[in-house]
Structure 1
């Protein structure tokens, strides 16, 4: 026995010396020149005729034995034909095997493994304990280190045994088993056995025993989809190879003969037949002892040792943070397709994912587990999701491919957090409840729903500022048709109704005014330009509704990831960085095969000045606009709400000095939420909850480091109606930021100094009473102003007294105090003044209540007299005073009744 042990050690030593003499690094020899193959291709073809002649003689002898075992004869010519048609040995099949890949978080900690049908973690020869090697050699191929690929003695023994017993015993060596598993088929034919023996000898002449063993121990099936000793050790025992006990080594070696029957987990728990595994393990230990690999003491200790097997396989568990992990897989596959210039279609995606799961890769993600779990906690435990407008829409069902029906609660939700400085995704959640299985719908990137007004900074105001507008630029919020608008009355409606006339871009974004957003898009940007901006921010063309409504009001269906990516560009000085979920992918040797930071798209979408103004305006939107519920105490926050038409979903996208995040809440079937559902009320609080926790303990600072001046901005004042440089007659102005070189230089031509009638707000006419004259400015709409396209009556509802024209010369004077008005009012004013005097004389005689009513009526009529009001208004005020005074006098019996207005005088008749 000692002699046999020395022979085995001598064989191993010779194999190692052979590898060393080759002059190649051992690890490179294992991996080959390409870094992907254990077995390198031949650089020089052997002498074919000499090789065939020698090996034919050898194989003939072996074949005779093999055929004798089967009770059949053999012909030398047939053997020669089989040898000549054997597959070429220098092929990648020997080690082109599925290898498990690994996914790590941003801290370098393992999140999960990825595999296909075979769970294989490659172990180098140096990693494999000697006891584990000895266990496999002892039970599978005792003379492995001394034979040349075929064990003649074992073949003879098998022949004798098969002649004496009804059962058959194989004579394959470890080398032959490797050939059978990786090069040949498992069929039981003379041809396969002869070719197997021939190729085994060829393999032994080319490669060392260590190389062959390494490949074999990483190839064998050990049950439960575990291939190779490293994966099996972790799955069955939860141990690395160097932690295995002698009994555990023997158990793994014992599985080789029949992985199903000797599966330790199934025997210990499912079948409740632990003896089936234990007996096989004891057999392996006995063989190890008999060949001298272990001492008697080691043998007996291992027999007495108790095997502890993990009851549950982690391979069946759903990995942590599934939404993020599965997006990483999608993201890596996307980069693989890009790197290899392959079309992004289902077939290519399937093939790339198979490679990712079987290539033994190491994927280093950007996932921050603390942030990810914080977002998950908020989303999964939120108690205030909006209700569905129709309670029947609160539950939907989904039927999987296996027929399983799943009930899904509505509305659903998605959220994404990005570090805007690096473009790295830190968290992603795609449902309001934790996934229960792999590849459930991830709404964060697989659902594109209309985002409402959250799109405005990206598609409207950002482009407008880039094209020369400033925060104080004027846009008109007027309920009137907009050129280019499609549908409705020719213009959109504002949330909550009402219109404000002239507003700045800052007010428009802070108050989320739909009409001014539509006008900004169509009058300053253009639909195609807006679309191009979205494309440059990574929004898929298929998600963009290239219509005024799609771009100005957000009926375009962006994903939550796309929305967050666009806002992160604003928070990054206008530089868009394609959001990435991983930084790099390495192969087993640590070589970087995909560098996402180098391959991703990066471009300046907005001017730095534009980004600065957008952030500043969006801070106002959170401070006192529609997004106040997103405030984080002690932290700067900027953001924009969004509410889809008919409340069919709500969003909030915002940023801090550290992170950008977006939240979407809505029905998978695009059904309406309750009428009180709004972005500010239903999405912003969710955003605030997890972002406040993420920022706990972080120091506050500006979102953008540069000052306004460093960003190329200046403050300027403009007329609050025309948006031009104020003139001396402009009644109101607005002061805000503009990019240098874009400050309006043209002086306002809408306001002209003139005597203004205080009643009409128009220039004084010949019939305006002196009391109505006031110095001021008349509003004259220039022909090139956008307002000139609107009906004058519409303009005057928002700008009283406005006229059309380029100067006062062709403008209009007061249209209240006309000749007709003067003719009507000449007698009425005299009578009204007399009635006022009479009423004032009666006041001391009236009760306190009646006196108050009469005094109010006196004031109204006096105002009409003083302002030169229209005849109808003065007449109405006269009648009101007359009737009020008459009623009061009638209620005062102790005073003689005298008709108001003078002895025998009646109220004037209406004309």
Structure 2
């Protein structure tokens, strides 16, 4: 090769454009990697700093808290204990009383690396996270160690509000500290004695007695494996339940986990798996009888059932969270109600049932509740106070018919209504009353006091279904299907809903959603308070005028609740009965209701049979059982907290019409026709009789006036204008809208076995009699 072919020094060291590109690319990648690494380091440092910040505020945990058997305690409104979850006599198993086999079973199924970690297990956490991401979890273990579970059971709750990074950090920090101060055996003992085991039982030693009538060291491998697996879902894996397959499967999972951990052989597991899950169960529950609550659990059973449901709805686990729950229960009133229903009041038969709810109109607190009579040994059984499958009968009339008529149409109490032949629109089905008679034209007051059906439905027609639905919604009442005309005398609502709705009349038009719990204290000392923020459901005028009319249900000689009258008690209310539906082959009364209130208490009582089609109808003499139960309870309550009479608001004035005291909204078109009268008594005159055409000069002439002047109601508690325009013509578009909404949808009057009120029954008077 010639010299000309040799590369020069400059040729040998001159970089190409490609070299420049590679160098530039490599530098960019390096910068990106450095940035990523820096961000990761910052995140780790920030996460560590946040972890230690949260850990520094972790609650303290003591040996007594770790060793305690944490059941939830429930108190009444006077701070008296009314229930402790886990009423059984509890036994604490010391280390020497806990078989090694049980410890092996617990570790195998709950925390396989228990003896290798120091409170938290990074490998376990990463494995659980990976399994959750890719959906490969075997369903047996999560990310928390046994020590972390013990900490959670001791100082935290399972509520959704506790599922935060802060709580997880504190839980992990405390778990590390627990591992530093206690041995693995001590930690296992704490856990085994603390966990919830179903049926109100805490701790595996107590569970051994409850389920098998034996101590832990007397149980077989199969039985110990079942106990070890139950804490994951005590109710689902309960061997006393009808779903024994789930308990069997869980026991076998524990046995297989013990084989994988080399604590037992496959042969031992196979032999234990052959045992029936129900073998050797003790129906007498060993030595666990006896508790430390000084109130008969049966007395408070329905209330406690609803409190537990409320706790779970709020995200708590009442069986594991060790809560202190303060309720609104008046224990003395609850005892009185229980005694009246089960011992004092004579019902038609022992199988006749009752559901009762008592609320405080001022705040919505649920004061007392009866779920049923003579319920036997059933715990947390059917609570008839909250069931919505029975028609409320005529107790619906103030809520859907006359209340809206005053609120939206500004009707006075003397507004004339027609009790004449009526057919449901679009049908040939006639609506009747309990007496199968018509009384002609009468005042709204008389129609309500005497509980006439036809005037109520005609009133609903003029109000319109849409406005009636709005009124009901303001009282906490709604349903998925549209309401119909028949709903005006047949709402499917519970005694609790009736009590809360009537309470709004008692409270000047303010509705409070009823509630059970006043405060919850968790194991870490955090307290959460609860209350019901009321909202205006109607004008003060509407509430007062309805109350004034409903007083007559007790005091008027033709009132439907004369059996519930109480001298000296300022009360108002409404009865309701339902008959068997046409075509059922039965006749007579199927349900009987009484709803009433003072300024301090609102009570709703339902009576009837759980299976009415297989029982005799309620006898005429027993239709007042609901009234008598109500009367005795209200008499007791008012003697404890006497209510004054209601004061007429300045938006209402009393007038004299045909010699009777009546009420009218001030400045309405009806008020302009009459001079106000002095009204110091606050009580209405009797309006016993319907009136013939010759006795209607006072009100019918007013009703028949046609004028273009609109009337307004400006009264509102919050000072806001509520201009509700209605025309004076009773045949206006507002009235016609009721017909348009209901032409083909009159309701099912008598079916109370869960049926919906959508078609008129062959016996339409069934739903609204009295």
Same fold (TM over 0.5): yes
Give 1:206 deviation, angstroms. Answer: 5.4
Given the alignment, which residue of 462, 478, 484 partners 1:547? Answer: 484
The answer (yes or no) to whether the contact 2:354–2:372 under 8 Å persists in 1 is: yes
Give the alignment partner of residue 419 of structure 1, picking from 349, 355, 360: 360
Aligned to 1:578: 513
**In 2, distance between residues paired with 1:686 and 1:257?**
53
Is the 8 Å Cα contact of residues 450 and 558 (structure 1) preserved in structure 2?
yes
Q: 2:289 aligns with which of 302, 312, 331?
A: 312
Q: How many Å apart are 1:669 and its aligned residue?
A: 2.9
On the 8 A contact 1:418/1:426 being kept in 2, the answer is yes
Change (3 A) 1:584 1:478: same
Structure-2 change in CA distance of 1:679 and 1:715 (3 Å) = farther
Inter-CA distance 682–587: structure 2 relative to 1 (3 Å threshold)? same
Matches within 5 A, 1:328-347: 328-336=307-315
Q: Is the Cα contact below 8 Å between 2:192 and 2:204 reproduced in 1? A: no
Q: Is the 8 A contact 2:420 2:454 kept in 1?
A: yes
After superposition, the C-alpha distances for 1:596-635 in whole angstroms (9 at most, x for unaligned) are 31xx463211111211111111111111111111122322
State which structure, 1 or 2, has the greater radius of gyration over its C-alpha atoms.
1
Q: Which residue of 2 aligns with 1:371?
A: 333
Which residue number corresponds to residue 552 of structure 2? 620
Q: 2:631 aligns with which of 665, 688, 691?
A: 688
**Cα distance, 1:36 vs structure 2:** 8.6
Report deviation, 1:497. 3.7
Listed as ranges, the matches of 1:95-494 within 5 Å are: 99-114=70-85, 185=109, 196-197=115-116, 199=118, 207=178, 209-210=180-181, 215-221=187-193, 312-314=289-291, 320-336=299-315, 355-382=317-344, 384-386=346-348, 410-481=351-422, 485=425, 487=427, 489=429, 492-494=431-433
Q: Distance in 2 between matches of 1:567 and 1:311?
A: 45
| CA positional deviation for 1:680 | 6.5
Mapped partners of 2:389, 2:633: distance in 1: 23
Aligned 8 A contact 2:416 2:703 in 1: no
Relative CO higher for 1 or 2, CA cutoff 8 Å, sep ≥ 6?
Answer: 2
SS in 1 for 2:664: strand
Report the CA distance between 1:113 and its aligned residue: 2.4
Q: What is the CA–CA distance in structure 2 between the aligned matches of 1:236 and 1:119, rounded to whole Å?
A: 12
Structure-2 change in CA distance of 1:32 and 1:448 (3 Å): farther
Q: 1:479 to 1:37 in 2, by over 3 A?
A: farther
SS at match of 1:644: strand
Distance in 2 between residues matched to 1:539 and 1:679, nearest whole Å: 29
1:377 deviation in Å? Answer: 0.7
Give yes or no for contact 1:509–1:618 (8 Å, CA) kept in 2.
yes
Alpha-carbon deviations, 1:305-339, whole Å to 9, x = none? xxxx9662549996652111111112333344xxx
1:736 equivalent to 2:674? Answer no
Q: Which residue of 1 aligns with 2:172?
A: none
CA distance in structure 2 between the partners assigned to 1:665 and 1:335 by the alignment: 31
Structure 1 gap segments, 5+ residues each: 1-27, 40-93, 122-131, 142-168, 238-253, 264-308, 337-351, 388-408, 719-731, 749-759, 762-776, 790-911
Deviates more, 1:215-224 or 1:617-626: 215-224
From the superposition, tell whether residues 733 and 32 of structure 1 become closer, same or farther in structure 2 (CA, over 3 Å).
same
State how far apart, in whole Å, the 2-side matches of 1:412 and 1:473 are.
38
Q: CA 1:635/1:670 → structure 2, altered by over 3 Å: closer, same or farther? A: same
Report the CA distance shift for 1:186/1:643 in structure 2 as closer, same or farther (over 3 A): closer
Aligned to 1:604: 536
Residue 4 of structure 2 is matched in structure 1 by: none
* CA deviations over 1:233-266 (Å, ceiling 9, x no partner): 99999xxxxxxxxxxxxxxxx9786788999xxx
1:635 to 543, 566, 569: 569
**C-alpha distance in 2, partners of 1:645/1:509?**
19
Using the TM superposition, name which of 319-328 and 689-698 deviates more: 689-698
Compared with structure 1, are the counterparts of its residues 111 and 499 closer, same or farther at alpha carbon in structure 2 (3 Å cutoff)?
same
How far apart, CA to CA, are the structure 1 residues paired with 2:508 and 2:208?
Answer: 52
Distance 1:520 1:311, change over 3 A: closer
Shift of 1:115: 5.7
**Residue of structure 1 equivalent to 2:579:** 645
Deviation at 1:473, TM superposition (A): 4.0
Aligned counterparts of 2:703 and 2:574: Cα–Cα separation in 1: 36
How much has 1:98 moved relative to structure 2? 9.2
Q: Is the 8 A contact 1:628 1:680 kept in 2?
A: no
Inter-CA distance 224–443: structure 2 relative to 1 (3 Å threshold) = closer
2:472 equivalent in structure 1: 534
Instruction: Report the Cα offset of residue 697 of structure 1.
Output: 5.1
Report SS of the residue matched to 1:506: helix
Give the match for residue 499 of structure 1: 438
State the 1:34 CA deviation.
Answer: 8.1
Please point out which of 648, 654, 660 is paired with 1:715: 654
CA pair 500-474 structure 1, distance change in 2 beyond 3 A:
farther
- The answer to whether the Cα contact below 8 Å between 1:651 and 1:683 also exists between their aligned partners in 2 is yes
Q: How much has 1:420 moved relative to structure 2? A: 1.6
Gapped runs of 5+ residues in structure 2?
A: 1-50, 122-146, 148-174, 225-285, 581-588, 675-692, 695-699, 707-727, 734-770
TM-score (norm 2): 0.56
Distance 1:106 1:201, change over 3 A: closer
Describe the SS at the equivalent of 2:338. Answer: helix
Length-normalised TM-score, structure 1: 0.48
Equivalences for residues 754-765 of structure 1 within 5 A: none
The alpha-carbon deviation at position 663 of structure 1 amounts to 0.6
Post-superposition offset of 1:743: 4.1
3-state DSSP class of the match of 2:624? helix
For residues 370 and 702 of structure 2, the distance between their equivalents in structure 1, rounded to whole angstroms, comes to 54
User: In 1, distance between residues paired with 2:425 and 2:395?
Assistant: 20
Aligned length: 505
